[in-house]
């Protein structure tokens, strides 16, 4: 394991995902990490990514993982190969930072986690909105009891990547992307809804549609119900660039956040006669920074890993609920 004074040497595995460059940039900018190399199974795409950051490219994954000048990897391959690539990296002793979903199924998630634990490498999944200031402010209001019994949450996240279009066509391939808007962008509303209402609803219903006629959904609505009688509404889309919004309500009051104004508002009997503005703290440390800290301190990202598994569980349930039965 690298010391606290020696940068953690990182390789990017795959430029398939649109966030690959973001994590590569974080690697370059973080004082505790150094970007060393890029691998991709698409040579042209991988070379382009490597050239962008001025590092070497290789198309030989086994050779890269065998190198002792690489300590860790960021995984931004297609989702369908996460289990294979991550477990190979872990067995080679490389710490793993990965884009969501961790894997297409809960069983694969559990295999990945077990492999990383057995190898003694540190795993973390990019679930960025868990650590944003508005999320922490909403959690504080829920925990304070001012909302009373929380019985409703709605989270919407949407962009227009399918209609402008700027989202790569590979995001609409069901065999590699595993799903569409819900499986990719919808992960954020899913894990936030789970945070506010609970990880495991007792009912999941879903409506998926494709405005653009692709093989996967380009917008989706998922409703989840809980034994507490709370309802969660999860919305995601690639066909409309609407503001990111969160609404949470309970028997004592409500909360509303929109990134259009970057303001968290509260109202209801617990807050007085008029709506009030709730202070939003600065964002907490992001998942990448947490990963670096876990590597240097030898600790495990228990909460992040558990939430990544539950995220996969709910996404799988939503995808199953959205399937239209084949006529006999």
Residue 53, Cα to own-chain centre: how many angstroms?
24
Q: What is the mean pLDDT of residues 306-310?
A: 98
For residues 283-321, one letter each, b for 16 or more C-beta atoms within 10 angstroms of the residue's C-beta and e for the rest, the string is: eeebbbbbbbbbbbeeeebeebbebbbbbbbbbbbbbeb
What does CATH list as the number for 133-282+316-322? 3.30.360.10
> Tell me, what's the pLDDT at 273?
83
The CA distances from residue 149 to 146, 197, 220, in Å, are 9, 10, 28
Q: In this prediction, what percent of the chain has a pLDDT beyond 90?
A: 96
> Tell me, what's the pLDDT at 1?
45
Please tell me the pTM assigned to this model.
0.95
Q: Residues 15, 41: contact at Cβ < 8 Å?
A: no
What does CATH list as the number for 8-127? 3.40.50.720
Q: What is the mean pLDDT of residues 37-59?
A: 98
> Tell me, what's the pLDDT at 327?
36
Q: Residues 296, 303: contact at Cβ < 8 Å?
A: no
What average pLDDT does the structure give for the chain?
Answer: 96
Q: pLDDT confidence of 323, banded at 50, 70, 90?
A: confident
| Rounded Cα gap, residues 261 and 91, in angstroms | 46
Q: What is the mean pLDDT of residues 157-169?
A: 97
What would the 3-class secondary structure string for 25-63 be? HHHHHCCCEEEEEEECCCHHHHHHHHHHHCCEEECCHHH
> Tell me, what's the pLDDT at 87?
98
Q: Which element (helix H / strand E) includes 222?
A: strand 219-225
Q: Residues 130, 307: contact at Cβ < 8 Å?
A: yes
In the chain, which residues fall in CATH 3.30.360.10?
Answer: 133-282+316-322
In the chain, which residues fall in CATH 3.40.50.720?
Answer: 8-127
Residue 324 reports pLDDT greater than 70: no
**Which tens digit of pLDDT belongs to each residue from 207-266?**
999 999 999 999 999 999 999 999 999 999 999 999 999 999 999 999 999 999 999 999
Two structure tokens written together for 190 = 């899913």
**Which tens digit of pLDDT belongs to each residue from 111-160?**
999 999 999 999 999 999 999 999 999 999 999 999 999 999 999 999 99
């Amino acid at each position: 394991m690298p010391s606290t004074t020696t940068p953690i040497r990182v390789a990017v595995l795959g430029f398939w995902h649109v966030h690959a460059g973001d994590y590569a940039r974080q690697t370059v900018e973080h004082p505790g990490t150094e970007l060393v190399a890029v691998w991709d199974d698409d040579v042209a795409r991988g070379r382009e990514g490597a050239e962008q950051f001025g590092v070497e490219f290789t198309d030989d994954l086994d050779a890269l993982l065998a190198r002792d000048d690489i300590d860790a990897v960021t995984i931004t391959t297609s989702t369908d190969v996460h289990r294979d690539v991550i477990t190979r990296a872990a067995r080679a002793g490389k710490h793993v930072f990965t884009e969501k979903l961790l894997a297409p199924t809960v069983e694969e998630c559990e295999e990945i986690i077990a492999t990383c634990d057995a190898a003694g490498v540190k795993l973390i999944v990019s679930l960025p909105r868990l650590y944003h200031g508005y999320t922490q402010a909403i959690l504080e209001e829920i925990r304070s009891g001012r909302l009373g019994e929380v019985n409703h949450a709605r989270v919407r996240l949407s962009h227009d990547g399918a209609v402008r279009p700027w989202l790569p066509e590979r995001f609409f391939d069901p065999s590699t992307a595993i799903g569409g808007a819900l499986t990719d962008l919808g992960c954020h509303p899913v894990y936030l809804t789970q945070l506010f209402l609970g990880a495991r609803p007792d009912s999941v219903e879903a409506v998926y549609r494709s405005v653009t006629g692709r093989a996967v959904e380009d917008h989706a609505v998922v409703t989840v119900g809980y034994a507490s009688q709370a309802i969660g509404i999860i919305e995601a889309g690639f066909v409309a660039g609407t503001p990111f919004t969160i609404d949470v309500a309970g028997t004592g009051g409500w909360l509303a956040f929109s990134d259009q104004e970057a303001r968290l508002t509260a109202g209801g009997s617990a807050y007085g006669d008029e709506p009030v503005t709730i202070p939003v703290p600065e964002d907490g440390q992001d998942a990448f920074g947490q990963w670096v800290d876990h590597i240097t301190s030898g600790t495990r990202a228990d909460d992040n890993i558990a939430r990544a598994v539950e995220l996969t569980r709910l996404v799988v349930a939503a995808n199953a609920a959205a399937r239209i039965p084949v006529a006999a």
